[in-house]
Structure 1
């Protein structure tokens, strides 16, 4: 597949609903659930619990309009600030936050988080708790060195970024610059969690094919260390699903803290 014809996520935009349906839905024929839903949720929950990561402010900077990785975060952080590049993704996310007609159904994630032990009322309470924690959904501009421009955010205790860096970084140098931009949003000693796909070159959403930076575990580790982070935990899971919609080889979960 000719990489020159691939679109850029942050430049060309993405069909946010199509990407949710393809990679994060609860449909039986959705083959990515083990990698895109179960693996991230299990590792986020374990990391927050065992490493005692908690605080006032968590900033989420992830691809599309996903929220499933934040279901555990609302137990450990008072406020969640979501950064988005595109208006379309903001609208899709706010549709769910405001419980509007046609919002994407995240009930399968609420049930997974509850380990199927809670009643439907308790599961709804879980979703509402996430909604309450999402205080702000803020648009940012990656083209600027200070991507928040005139907006002043409180320093974060933790940042989570899900599958974003490989889509917005044209090459490895830009990936490392973006990691440093993320670092500026963190308090000294704050934590960063990156979840992503390794050794991929493209991903599709609907009829569009998007650029995907080809990189491996060693590179992600180096990018974090060079940006002033100490790595605390790293898990890599080899891909088991079969689909030509995206060509990654493995998924990575890596947690680190910013040096004081």
Structure 2
């Protein structure tokens, strides 16, 4: 479908409260079990399984929604919320501050408490989300760096509901936006993605808004090309006819960065990585703490040295820190390194290029 035929919610004025009341907050709307019930159940299953954990979660979802953060607040101490328009940011902050007229998420909060065995009162559950949200920032879809000038940390989990197919005007844009989300994720972290197959529009009042239509084949290809490994995919057929939107299936996918992407990621070979290593060499405040590994090695060696002595021996031995640019045929361009007696490589596979650094007859 031509993306110019309908409005786009991120570049057209619309009532953000109207979106929430139409699809998410009113338990009597026709699709509440699918729009809200399906995500609540799947996120409860995911977080209660213990497979997805960490300190910080980034949420990048459609509208000023709260319901999907209710289970997440039990796992993650900090939540960063990304919104796409100023009206959405204002609407979300109204709920954070308990302002009069804010969206009513009590239906979802009560539903989550029921899934969890009613361990907490629903008001307590909502307040836990409020305490966990540390930042609300804007994603500008018109920019190559959509968060500029904000710099966010890489996090343990990125949660995204109903949004990639809303902000992407074509499939190439979908792939680009997926890669941008990837840059927010720690290696080893998880992305949790909700979407819809073969959907073309949704309506708020009399206004029809564009949705990028895609199917399961495209989604699997896009995730694979972005360097992800799918852990689980759940597909829910549409159960009710409704003229407010059209889709054939809802989909929930959990995935991680693949091993191959992890070892070739620029995040492993960038100036920030070099700076972090140099912080440790200089014993700068805030440098990574390798005491556990140093103590473990000393124990393996019969405690011949104190662990601090072992670390200082490494610091004295390191004579050069060079950058490897994975985008170049000569990844050490402008740096001439000698051939050496041993090459040590953990979790990297550019074997022929690494092997070129070895003296003849020596082992990798």
TM class by shorter chain equals over 0.9
CA contact (8 A) 1:23 1:32 kept: yes
Match of 1:222 in 2: 221
Q: Does 1:199 align with 2:182?
A: no
CA contact (8 A) 1:3 1:202 kept: no
Q: Give deviations 1:62-117, integer Å, cap 9, x for gaps.
A: 11111101100001111000001101001111111111111111011111011185
How far apart are 1:225 and its partner, in Å? 1.2
How far apart are 1:2 and its partner, in Å? 7.9
TM-score, with normalisation over the residues of structure 2?
Answer: 0.68
Runs of 5+ unmatched residues, structure 1: none
SS in 1 for 2:122: helix
Tell me the matched-pair count. Answer: 258
Q: Does 1:85 align with 2:84?
A: yes
Match of 1:249 in 2: 248
Larger strand proportion of the pair? 1
SS in 2 for 1:11: coil
CA contact (8 A) 1:170 1:213 kept: yes
Single out whichever of 96-105 and 3-12 deviates more from structure 2: 3-12
Runs of 4+ in structure 1 deviating by more than 3 angstroms, as ranges, are 1-4, 116-119
Match of 2:15 in 1: 15
Distance 1:147 1:234 in 2: 28
Match of 2:74 in 1: 75
CA contact (8 A) 1:19 1:206 kept: no
Alignment of 1:91-240 (within 5 A): 91-115=90-114, 118=118, 122-240=121-239
Distance 2:195 2:151 in 1: 27
Q: Give deviations 1:182-202, integer Å, cap 9, x for gaps.
A: 001111121111101110111
Distance 1:142 1:167 in 2: 11
How far apart are 1:209 and its partner, in Å? 0.9
Single out whichever of 96-105 and 215-224 deviates more from structure 2: 215-224
CA contact (8 A) 2:59 2:159 kept: yes
How far apart are 1:207 and its partner, in Å? 2.4
CA contact (8 A) 1:200 1:212 kept: yes
How far apart are 1:12 and its partner, in Å? 1.3
Runs of 5+ unmatched residues, structure 2: 263-364
CA contact (8 A) 1:145 1:181 kept: no
CA contact (8 A) 1:41 1:68 kept: yes
CA contact (8 A) 2:3 2:169 kept: no
Q: CA, structure 1 residues 142+3, in 2 after alignment: closer, same or farther (shift >3 Å)?
A: closer
SS in 2 for 1:193: strand
CA contact (8 A) 2:61 2:161 kept: yes
Q: CA, structure 1 residues 196+14, in 2 after alignment: closer, same or farther (shift >3 Å)?
A: farther
Determine which structure has more spread, i.e. the larger CA radius of gyration.
2
CA contact (8 A) 1:15 1:206 kept: no
Distance 2:213 2:64 in 1: 23
Match of 2:25 in 1: 25
How far apart are 1:57 and its partner, in Å? 1.0
SS in 2 for 1:5: coil
